[in-house]
């Protein structure tokens, strides 16, 4: 089986054995959470309002084990970054726990079901269906699909390097919603433009302050990749959003 269903989330069966993780992920794609589909004809439109000369927005992540900050790539990934900013500004992420952490790989976060750190459904949730947000680069209103997902924004060739924020999905087209992961290794096999694997996980930001906190999160004691001692996101604050 390419995937193994554990504790409410889709996980790759090789991920518990780090020595075989990379080879397995090349087949299956590691980051997953629901099964909805969306198409769009406007995905590749060039930004009309946000100038790349302006500084990108920034996010501060305050967790129970420390804080870190990231640049959000609104200039290169306007739909994905705008989706994250909208959710953060709504307080959507506050009180959610990291539900999957793997040393030398990544830390995954953003499932609303993980407000309960022991939920067996952690890894399967996302935004409410048909909710809307504004593309902050163009002013266009974007509607999430019936599963709360946004279109895959496969336009910027940004690799899954250490510290990057990357969208979680099921491995199927247009299945990203609120969940994302933070890389702690150069996981280039997850790049959407790496044709050697089926994985397509677009990057939309990068941690540039407090990266050591992210690494610490990935190294905690776990049970089935879930932190044994829950790690909660207390608050995400976004600054520098264009008006």
> What is the Cα gyration radius of the chain?
16
**Per-residue pLDDT for 12 more than 80?**
no
In the set 68, 190, 204, 226, the catalytic residue is: 190
What integer best gives the mean pLDDT of the chain? 85
Closest by CA to 212, choosing from 65, 89, 95, 111, is 65
Closest by CA to 6, choosing from 134, 115, 99, 109, is 99
Which pLDDT score, from 0 to 100, does residue 6 have? 26
In the set 34, 56, 145, 169, the catalytic residue is: 169
Closest by CA to 30, choosing from 110, 140, 105, is 105
216 Cβ contact partners less than 8 Å away, ≥ 6 residues apart: 65, 66
**Per-residue pLDDT for 29 more than 50?**
no
Residue pLDDT, tens place only, 57-83? 999 999 999 999 999 999 999 999 999
Which pLDDT score, from 0 to 100, does residue 52 have? 60
Give the phi and the psi of residue 201 in degrees, each rounded to 5.
-120, 100
Which pLDDT score, from 0 to 100, does residue 51 have? 59
In the set 11, 33, 50, 105, the catalytic residue is: 105
Q: Is 144 an annotated catalytic residue?
A: no
What is the rounded average pLDDT of the residues 170-194?
97
Q: From CA 17, how far away is CA 236, in angstroms rounded? A: 32
Which pLDDT score, from 0 to 100, does residue 243 have? 81
In the set 133, 181, 189, 204, the catalytic residue is: 181
In the set 97, 99, 144, 201, the catalytic residue is: 201
Q: Is 108 an annotated catalytic residue?
A: yes
Residue pLDDT, tens place only, 85-107? 999 999 999 999 999 999 999 99
**Per-residue pLDDT for 55 more than 50?**
yes
Q: Is 83 an annotated catalytic residue?
A: no
* Cα→Cα distances 189→29, 95, 105, 128, 152, Å: 9, 31, 12, 30, 17
In the set 34, 56, 108, 187, the catalytic residue is: 108
Which pLDDT score, from 0 to 100, does residue 53 have? 67
Q: Is 169 an annotated catalytic residue?
A: yes
**Per-residue pLDDT for 35 more than 60?**
no
> How far does CA 130 lie from the centroid of its chain?
19
Q: Is 118 an annotated catalytic residue?
A: no
Residue-level length of the chain: 243
Q: Is 201 an annotated catalytic residue?
A: yes
In the set 72, 100, 165, 180, the catalytic residue is: 100
Q: From CA 91, how far away is CA 110, in angstroms rounded? A: 12
Residue pLDDT, tens place only, 106-165? 999 999 999 999 999 999 999 999 999 999 999 999 999 999 999 999 999 999 999 999
Q: From CA 110, how far away is CA 96, in angstroms rounded? A: 7
Q: Which residue has the higher pLDDT, 53 or 197?
A: 197
* Cα→Cα distances 145→34, 40, 97, 100, 187, Å: 12, 10, 25, 25, 28
Q: Is 189 an annotated catalytic residue?
A: no
Q: From CA 222, how far away is CA 105, in angstroms rounded? A: 14
Q: Is the pTM of this model over 0.85?
A: no
């Amino acid at each position: 089986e390419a995937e193994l269903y554990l504790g409410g989330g889709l996980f790759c069966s090789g991920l518990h054995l780090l020595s075989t993780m990379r080879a397995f992920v090349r087949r299956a794609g590691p980051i997953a959470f629901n099964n909805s589909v969306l198409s769009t004809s406007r995905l590749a439109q060039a930004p009309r309002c946000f100038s790349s000369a302006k500084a990108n927005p920034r996010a501060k992540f305050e967790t129970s084990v420390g804080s870190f900050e990231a640049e959000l790539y609104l200039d290169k990934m306007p739909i994905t970054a705008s989706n994250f900013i909208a959710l953060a500004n709504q307080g959507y992420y506050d009180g959610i726990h990291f539900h999957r952490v793997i040393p030398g790989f990544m830390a995954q976060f953003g499932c609303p079901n993980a407000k309960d750190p022991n939920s067996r459904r952690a890894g399967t949730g996302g935004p409410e269906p048909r909710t809307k947000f504004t593309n902050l680069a163009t002013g266009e209103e974007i509607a999430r699909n019936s599963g709360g997902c946004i279109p895959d924004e496969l336009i910027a060739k940004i690799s899954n390097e250490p510290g990057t924020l990357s969208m979680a999905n099921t491995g199927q087209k247009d299945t990203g919603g609120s969940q994302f992961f933070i890389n702690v290794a150069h996981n280039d096999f997850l790049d959407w433009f790496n044709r050697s694997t089926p994985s397509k996980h677009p990057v939309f930001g990068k941690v540039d302050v407090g990266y050591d906190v992210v690494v610490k999160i990935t190294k905690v004691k776990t049970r089935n990749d879930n932190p044994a001692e829950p790690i909660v996101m207390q608050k995400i604050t976004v600054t520098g959003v264009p008006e």
